[in-house]
Structures are given as structure tokens and as C-alpha cells.
Amino acid sequence: MADSISAIVTSMGFSSIESFIGLLLLAGFIIGAIVVIVTIKPVFEMFPYAYPNARVRARIGRLITQKQFSEILESENLEEVKNYLRGFPEYSKYVDKYPLEKALDIQLAETHDLIARIAPGGIKDVFRVLLKKWDINNIKTLITAKEAGLNPEKTAELLIPFGEISDVVEKLVEVKSVTEVIIGLEGTEYSQILEDALTDYEEKGMVLPLEAALDKFYLENLLKAVSDPSDANTTLLHPYIGTQVDASNLKIILRAKADGLKYDDISPYMISKGYQIRDWKLKDLMESEDVSGVISALEGTDYSAIMVDALAEYNKTGSIAPFEAALSEYIQKTAKTLSLKKPFGIGPMIGFLSRKEVEIKNLKVIVRGKRESGFPVSVIKEMLV
Amino acid sequence: MVDIALGTALAAIGAGIAVGFAGLGSGLGQGMAAAGSVGAVAEDPDMFAQGILFTALPETQAIYGFLIAILLMVFGGILGGETALPVEVGLVAIGAGAAIGFAGLGSGMGQGMAATSSVGAVVENPDMFSQGILFTALPETQAIYGFLIAILLMVFGGILGA
């Protein structure tokens, strides 16, 4: 046997069996290294998501089910809704501490905070930007409260104790006017954008330009965070965020067209570089004569089909609420589709966030409905997403 | 310097491949399952026992690799023996080590992914436990094939019972 192997090795041009084995081992080492690298690479992409996804999936399991929503809907009053929510660990710690709607907002803020903390490196920035939403909401609350002349105690009650500048915001409840709020934000990233919109606010005498400037800043930052994807997971975030930007632009355009506003009135509030609605399309939409013109101009995008369905309802009622509901539903569907694409990556996080936001939205609808005594359950049901 | 025959040295390489690659797959798989389990336990402390179970499953590949490596070392003359393996038997030893090594690498990583996913499924819905165990156990088969072939190579290749 050994002799025949030696003969084969010699016939192959090797001086000894040792040199042949040496070459064999070297080839084996190279093949082994290639196999290991190719096999391990995808695992290393999944590794950072194992921990956050397990936490997220635990929370998905605790989301309120359809059956539980039906039971909450049957509650006689707000106290019964509160009692029901005490059975959920996420809500129980807040429902007795804050007014119900604020407790729901705090729970959502806490969820955003958790995701921003546990998200792996590559996508952390996006979720950090998402957390800015609570700073922006608090600033909007402050501005609206000061415009309405609310006292510091009432204003403080409306603030959500989350966000990067929550301590700055808390101090500003004491100031007297909107302008003082903006001055008080000096040194934060919101100062300049609010100062830029201040003249518009003073001219028009309404807080809308300030709120729109904040919304624009938030969505532009989100877009910036996903604009340079480093891997398949960050790439998946672009359609999710981009769809939200598209929906925001569309809502503003539709509202403006329903009020008969023109291109120049709308364009300052637009956010460019959306997902399906690129800049040239956005221009077409803003130049449309009316709401049905906007819907026609959407031809060629996925939004066309869903908006056409809502157009009939708009023509009947004159309210743009059906469009807004259709867009919200579309965002939810997009999130669901994306969440299934990367089950070992960012998928569960996107799916959970979307479902949590819908859950909070629906709970708020129920809370508002139950606040009005005798408000029909069937009407509340229709308003749920 | 210890005088080792070329065949025995090849068996040593086989032992290294067996435990090295199988351990790599098992370690990665177990690491992923452990990371998932820690996340699950952070949300629900009652998940500890299930987490441990799912994390322990990808351990088996390393055990198979370890066992083959020990056998190769004992019967290859590295541990407690004067046996000097012929070169061709040494090559068989490398084959045996590669069989369990690579099978363990793939099986361990696959099982780790399945275990991670199962932990997530169970923490989301506790009724998924038995299905999770079943799905996680499936990638074990590749390691068993590798282990079996390694044993057969050693038996019929003249290392075991020669």
C-alpha cells in the first residue's frame, strides 16, 4: 500500500512523500480557511441582533391582541380601561402615575428608548434619531402651551419625561412666551431651525411654521441616518423611513390642496429625497390644482392604488381623514413586509416598533372615546387602525 | 525533542481539525443562542431554564469533535502509547478529523441559529417550546453523520482496533 502511494507520488513529480503531504496540507489549510470565512461571515452579521431581537420578541408576545382590544372596547369607562391596562407590565407602572394618555405616550417613549439602547452599532444612530421625536414633541407642547397661555403646572403635566434635552425642556415651563422658549433652547440643535421659522410665526400669528420646521428637521435627520447604508440591515431601513417621509409629504400636500393652497405655500414644508416620491414627482404633486389632481399625479407609485380607494370617501365627506388612514395602513403594511425580510437582523425591531405605535394609537382612540360618556363602541371600532 | 512518526503527526493534525472546527461551530452557535437567551431572560426571568436548554444544545458538536480528537490522540500514539502510525493511516486520521470538524462547524452554527430563533419564539409565545426544541434538534443530524463517518474511518482505516 505504502509502496503504491509512494509510486503515485513520485510519478506526480514529487521528490518524497513528505513534500507531497506538505502540499496537501497547505491546500487543505487554504480550502479550510475559505470554508470557514464563507460560512462564518453571515453568522457574524446575525450575532449582534441575537440579544436585541430576543428582547423585542418578548415584547411582541406581550402586545395587546385583537381579543384583548375587543375586551378593552367593551369597558364601561376610563377606570375600567385603566384596570385592564394594569394587567400589562409595560403599562401598569405608568397608569397610576400619570393621566392615561400621557401614560401611553411615556410607554411609547420608553419603547423607543429601549430600542435605541439595545440596537446594535450599525443601526443605533437611526433609533437615536427616532428618540428625538420626544424632544420635538415636548418642544411642540411647550410652544402650543405658551401660545395658549397655560400656566407652568399645566404645561409640565403635558410634557413626556423622555428625550435628550428633557431637563432643558422642563426648565422652560416657567417662561412666558413662545419667543422665550426659542431663546431658552439656545445651545440645542433645535435653536437655529426655530429661529429661522420665528419670522414666519410672527407674521402669520400661528405656531404651524414652528411645528412644521421641527417635523421637517426630524424627518430630514431620519433620512440622513439611513442615507448611507453599510449593510443589508441598514439598507432595509431606507424604505421604512422613506415611506414615512413620503406619507408625511403627501399628508401636507393633501391638506394644503383641500384648503386651496398653492405651490409656494406648500414647498417650504416639503422634505426631499423620499422613497417613492422623488423631487420631480413632489413638484408635480405640489403643482396639482386640487386633491383629485394630486391623486392622478401619484400614478406610477404604490400610493396611487390606495389613494384612489380613499378618494371616493373624500368626495363624499370632504375630509382628508380617509387618505391619512390609508397612508397609515400602508406604512404598517410596509413595516410588516420589511420585518419578514430579515428575521435574524433588523426585521423584528421594525415589526415591533410599527405594531407598538399602532397599539398606542388605538389605545388613545379608545381612551378618547371612553372619555365621552355614551360614545358608541361601533364608532370607536371604526376609528381603530 | 520528542521523536514523532509522520503518520502520528498527521493524526495529531486530524485531532486538531476535529476539535478545532467542531469547537468553532459549536462556540459560535452557542454564543448566538446564549446572547438570545440573555435577551429573553432580561425580559422574562422565567425563561432561564428554557434559555439554558436551548443554549446547551449546540454543545454536542464540540463533544463529538473532542471525542474524536481524544481517540485519535490515544490510538495515534500521541497519548500514552508507543504506536507509530504509518503515513497512509495518518492521512485517514486527517479525513476522520475533517469529517467531524466540518460537519460540526456547519451543524453547530445552524443549531445556534435555530436555537436563537426558538428562544425568541418561546419568549414571544411559550406554547412554541416543544416545536422550538424539535426544530433546533434537526441540525444535529449533520454532526451525527460526521461523527459516524469519523468513527468508521478510524475503525476501517486501521486506527481503532487495528
Collect all residues of chain B within an 8 Å Cβ-Cβ radius of residue A59.
43
Q: Quick one: pLDDT at residue A14?
A: 78
Collect all residues of chain A within an 8 Å Cβ-Cβ radius of residue B26.
none
Cβ-defined contact of A2 to B86 (cutoff 8 Å): yes
Q: Nearest CB to B39: which of A54, A60, A344? A: A54
Q: Quick one: pLDDT at residue A1?
A: 60
A25–B contact, CB cutoff 8 A? yes
Q: Quick one: pLDDT at residue A112?
A: 93
Please state, in angstroms and as integers, the Cα–Cα distance from residue A294 to each residue in A142, A258, A275, following that order: 34, 10, 17
Model confidence pLDDT, tens digit, residues A124-144:
888 898 889 999 999 999 999
Q: Quick one: pLDDT at residue B2?
A: 67
Nearest residue in chain B measured CA to CA from A38: B106
Cβ-defined contact of B6 to A2 (cutoff 8 Å): no
Collect all residues of chain A within an 8 Å Cβ-Cβ radius of residue B54.
none
A28–B contact, CB cutoff 8 A? yes
Q: Quick one: pLDDT at residue A183?
A: 92
Model confidence pLDDT, tens digit, residues B16-36:
999 999 999 999 999 999 999
Lowest mean pLDDT among A2-6, A90-94, B57-61, B124-128: A2-6
Q: Nearest CB to B36: which of A36, A50, A60? A: A50
- Interval B94-99 mean pLDDT: 95
Q: Quick one: pLDDT at residue A319?
A: 87
The pTM of this model reads 0.84
Cβ-defined contact of A35 to B102 (cutoff 8 Å): yes
- Interval B123-145 mean pLDDT: 94
Minimal CA separation from A381 to chain B, in Å: 27
Q: Do the beta carbons of residue A104 and residue A82 sit within 8 Å?
A: no
Question: Which residues of chain A from 337 to 356 reach within 8 Å of chain B, CB to CB?
Answer: 343-344, 348
SS (H, E, C) chain A: CHHHHHHHHHHCCCCCHHHHHHHHHHHHHHHHHHHHHHHHHHHHHHHHHHHHHHHHHHHHHCCCCHHHHHHHHCCCCHHHHHHHHCCCHHHHHHHCCCCHHHHHHHHHHHHHHHHHHHCCHHHHHHHHHHHHHHHHHHHHHHHHHHHHCCCHHHHHHHCCCCCCCHHHHHHHHHCCCHHHHHHHCCCCCHHHHHHHHHHHHHHHCCCHHHHHHHHHHHHHHHHHHHCCCCCHHHHHHHHHHHHHHHHHHHHHHHHHHHCCCCHHHHHHHCCCCCCCCCHHHHHHHHHCCCHHHHHHHCCCCCHHHHHHHHHHHHHHHCCCHHHHHHHHHHHHHHHHHHHHHCCCCCHHHHHHHHHHHHHHHHHHHHHHHHHCCCCCHHHHHHHCC
Interface pTM, i.e. ipTM: 0.82
A54–B contact, CB cutoff 8 A? yes
Q: Is the pLDDT of residue B93 over 90?
A: yes
Cβ-defined contact of B124 to A343 (cutoff 8 Å): no
Cβ-defined contact of B120 to A57 (cutoff 8 Å): yes
Collect all residues of chain B within an 8 Å Cβ-Cβ radius of residue A25.
13
Q: Quick one: pLDDT at residue B135?
A: 96
Minimal CA separation from B45 to chain A, in Å: 11
A58–B contact, CB cutoff 8 A? yes
Cβ-defined contact of A43 to B36 (cutoff 8 Å): no
**What does the alpha-carbon distance between residue B68 and residue B18 come to, in Å, rounded to a whole number?**
7
Minimal CA separation from B77 to chain A, in Å: 19
Q: How far apart are the first and last CA of chain B?
A: 28
SS (H, E, C) A71-113: HHHCCCCHHHHHHHHCCCHHHHHHHCCCCHHHHHHHHHHHHHH
**What does the alpha-carbon distance between residue A209 and residue A266 come to, in Å, rounded to a whole number?**
11
**What does the alpha-carbon distance between residue A151 and residue A133 come to, in Å, rounded to a whole number?**
24
Q: Quick one: pLDDT at residue B156?
A: 93
- The answer to whether the Cα torsion of B39, B41, B42, B43 is positive or negative is positive
Q: Quick one: pLDDT at residue B1?
A: 59
Minimal CA separation from B111 to chain A, in Å: 12
Cβ-defined contact of B117 to A47 (cutoff 8 Å): no
Q: Quick one: pLDDT at residue A317?
A: 86
Minimal CA separation from B121 to chain A, in Å: 7
> What stretches in chain A show pLDDT beneath 50?
none
**What does the alpha-carbon distance between residue A217 and residue A77 come to, in Å, rounded to a whole number?**
39
Nearest residue in chain B measured CA to CA from A50: B36
Q: Is the pLDDT of residue B162 over 60?
A: no
A212 versus B145: which is more confidently predicted?
B145
- When scoring B32, B37, B107, B127 by the number of chain A Cβ atoms within 10 A, the one with the most, hence best to mutate, is B32
Query: Which stretches of chain B sit within 8 Å of chain A by CB?
Result: 6, 10, 13, 17, 21, 24, 28, 31-33, 35-40, 42-44, 47, 86-88, 91, 94, 98, 102, 105-106, 109, 112-113, 116-117, 119-121, 123-125
Q: Quick one: pLDDT at residue A348?
A: 92
User: CA-based diameter of chain A, in Å?
Assistant: 102
Nearest residue in chain B measured CA to CA from A18: B6
Please state, in angstroms and as integers, the Cα–Cα distance from residue B125 to each residue in A62, A103, A347, A367, B122, following that order: 9, 26, 18, 28, 5
- Interval B125-144 mean pLDDT: 95
- Angle of helix B87-124 relative to helix B140-156, nearest 10 degrees, comes to 160
- When scoring B44, B46, B50 by the number of chain A Cβ atoms within 10 A, the one with the most, hence best to mutate, is B44
